[in-house]
Amino acid sequence: MIFFRKKETIIRRASHPYNGSFLQPLAVAIVSAILVALILIMGFLDIRRSETNLVGFMEDQALATISVLQRLTEDNLKSIVAMTGKMPTQAKTASQEEADYSKKLVIEAITALGQKIDEQWKKKLINNVYLHKFAVDHNFWYMAVLNREGNAVYQSSPLKTSMLDENDLSANGRKATTIELLEKIRIKQGIGFVALRRKDGSGTVVINLDKEGLKYWSMKVAVGRAINKMGEGHGIVYMQIFNDQEKQLGDIGKLPEGLSDKDFNHQRILKGTTRIVSRKVDVQGNNILDMAAPFTLDKKVAGLVRIGLERGSMDKIIAENRRNIFIFMLLVVVIALLSMWLLYHDQNRHLAGIIDMERRLEKAERLSSLGRLAAGVAHEIRNPLNAISMATQRLKMDFVPADQSKVDEFQKLSGVIRDEIKRLNGIIEEFLTFSKSRRLQFSDFSVAKVLQKIVSLIQEEASARGITIKTEWRLQPAIIPMDVNKLQQAFLNLIKNALESISAEGTITITVDKEGGNYIMASISDTGCGMTAEEIEKIFSPEYTTKEKGVGLGIPLANEIIRGHGGEIRVISHKGNGTTFEVVLPRERLSEKSSS
């Protein structure tokens, strides 16, 4: 019953590591997956942050360009609207000359448009509708082409004579001409005009500007001069400047096909609540960062600027950062997975060590139980066996049957009883020896002499069974510290096991040789039946035996004694090809060696 309970304990303990090893990979996998997911998320966030920073840098670059444009435009506007005053005899200052020059530019720009109208008139492409559209597009209050007498032939809209008095509509008793009416409107309402007369006097082109028109053209000229001073380049693909009426004041480059003036919400930008709006576009093979920002003059939003910058360098930096981040992420993931694998491997190694320690502890518990059992068996059984043995001997001597036919049977039964008592005594002796195997008394002695003594004891039995024993003492005298009686018992058990493994004739070879510098090796080889790998794993267990009679303590007892000497037993065997036990023993006691 004791052995069965121990087996149940072993099975129950072995089941716990199995459950742990089943759940452990899942836990490590979950931790690894979470860690990898966090690394990936951080990597993607880093990529987004890097891209946002680069876009922000380009937006700042665009705002800096717009700021320069605004400053130059403000300077130009101040020159245009500056009053020069009357200076009949005095020399003009530099700022006054700049103002005259700026106003001259406004007049020249309007004059250029008047010349264009004159050319179209010559080609007979002018009509009222054409002039109306032209005036609206260019913020002109009134446009007209006049004949030689100064009357309108075509005009953008009917002249607003309601702005004049009744007597202003006539001159020298006749109806006033268009050019005369325009002059009176200029004097009374302050709406000036530019008139371009042909050299032959055959016609005149008239363009009128009210205050809004003058403001528009002043800004347009100021912006044009600012653009000329800035020049092109700076990575600018295009730039458009619009006023608060969404009319274009100037531009650099050409807006690529596929883009429209209405791609951005102009009203939202004109409110001044948005610092800058940007988007990435790819048109006509160009990678552009398309942006729009308010155009501010004198700290007021006067329009908006749309600017496109090449983002080739930005895309290269983003691509390089993305590649570097992906490489870094990959390395971190690999390191994380490797760390998780090493952790899992290390945990498994420690788990295996714990399992092995548990097995050793269980084995030690079994051995301790066997020792206690041996003492109990010896105490409880040995005395009754002695009494039975003496009673059997007396029966055999004093109570022989008178009937001669029953004498042989009586002797046979008596012998069986005597042999079985002898066998029980042998089992008790094995238990007693096993329980006392750890108490060793060391002295220096020759391993070869111990083995030679054992050979002398079993030589007769081996010869009777047709078994030859060969000895090879390659190392003499092979003296080591040992408990002579215990070590002799260990070698005897191993040699007996070799004898019992040979069913017919065979050979046992016993050798003593050195093993390295500090060990000797005693080898016991037989030509017996051999063992399988599974049997080799079990032979050191006290619960395992291949004998029909016996308890299987011989080899476990030998192993305990050898280990008590600081040595080990190695087993080399193949089924049907014999077995070799190699006993490796130190030449010095381990405690003495460590203390020295």
Residue ranges of domains in the chain: 2-74+315-380, 94-214, 232-310, 437-595
Cβ-based neighbours of 440, under 8 Å, separated by 6 or more:
483, 486, 561, 564, 565
- % of the chain surpassing 70 pLDDT: 84
pLDDT at 521: 95
Q: Is 595 a residue whose pLDDT tops 60?
A: no
pLDDT at 16: 43
Which of 369-373, 388-392, 527-531 is the least confident region?
Answer: 369-373
pLDDT at 508: 95
pLDDT at 271: 84
Alpha-carbon gap, residue 318 to 312, rounded angstroms? 10
The more confidently predicted of residues 243 and 104 is 243
What is each CA distance from 491 to 93, 454, 523, 531, 561, in whole angstroms? Answer: 127, 8, 10, 19, 10
pLDDT at 101: 53
Q: Which residue has the tokens 């700290």?
A: 299
Q: How confident is the model over 534-539, as a mean pLDDT?
A: 86
- Taking only the tens place, the pLDDT of each residue in 411-444 is 878 877 887 787 777 767 766 665 555 567 899 9
- Taking only the tens place, the pLDDT of each residue in 278-313 is 888 888 777 888 999 999 988 889 899 999 888 877
pLDDT at 547: 59
Contact between 272 and 294 under an 8 Å Cβ cutoff? The reply is yes
pLDDT at 294: 92
Angle between helices 554-564 and 407-435 (to 10 degrees): 30
pLDDT at 233: 61
Q: Is 374 a residue whose pLDDT tops 70?
A: no
Q: How confident is the model over 469-478, as a mean pLDDT?
A: 90
**What phi, psi does 331 have (nearest 5°)?**
-65, -45
pLDDT-derived band of residue 594, with 50, 70 and 90 as boundaries? Answer: very low
Contact between 494 and 537 under an 8 Å Cβ cutoff? The reply is no
- % of the chain surpassing 90 pLDDT: 19
pLDDT at 9: 35
Alpha-carbon gap, residue 167 to 174, rounded angstroms? 11
Q: What number of other Cβ atoms are within 10 A of residue 285's Cβ?
A: 6
pLDDT at 85: 37
- Taking only the tens place, the pLDDT of each residue in 314-365 is 778 878 877 887 888 788 778 877 877 887 788 778 888 888 888 888 877 7
Alpha-carbon gap, residue 120 to 113, rounded angstroms? 11
- Taking only the tens place, the pLDDT of each residue in 142-185 is 999 999 888 999 999 999 888 888 888 888 888 889 888 888 88
Q: Is 15 a residue whose pLDDT tops 60?
A: no
pLDDT-derived band of residue 3, with 50, 70 and 90 as boundaries? Answer: very low
Which of 77-81, 337-341, 369-373 is the least confident region?
Answer: 369-373
Cβ-based neighbours of 360, under 8 Å, separated by 6 or more:
none
pLDDT at 471: 94
| DSSP annotation of 90 | S
pLDDT at 109: 85
**What phi, psi does 360 have (nearest 5°)?**
-65, -40
- Taking only the tens place, the pLDDT of each residue in 184-220 is 888 888 888 888 898 888 889 999 988 888 888 888 8
pLDDT-derived band of residue 586, with 50, 70 and 90 as boundaries? Answer: very high
Cβ-based neighbours of 356, under 8 Å, separated by 6 or more:
none
pLDDT at 8: 37
Check if CATH label 3.30.450.20 holds for domain 232-310: yes
CATH, domain 437-595, list 3.40.50.1110, 3.10.20.30, 3.40.50.300, 3.30.565.10: 3.30.565.10
Alpha-carbon gap, residue 340 to 32, rounded angstroms? 6
pLDDT at 448: 92
Q: How confident is the model over 458-479, as a mean pLDDT?
A: 90
The more confidently predicted of residues 498 and 232 is 498
Q: In this structure, what token pair is assigned to residue 424?
A: 């029980």
Q: How confident is the model over 253-262, as a mean pLDDT?
A: 82
pLDDT-derived band of residue 388, with 50, 70 and 90 as boundaries? Answer: confident
* CA nearest neighbour of 250 among 219, 276, 209: 219
**What phi, psi does 296 have (nearest 5°)?**
-105, 130
Mean pLDDT, the chain, as a whole number? Answer: 81
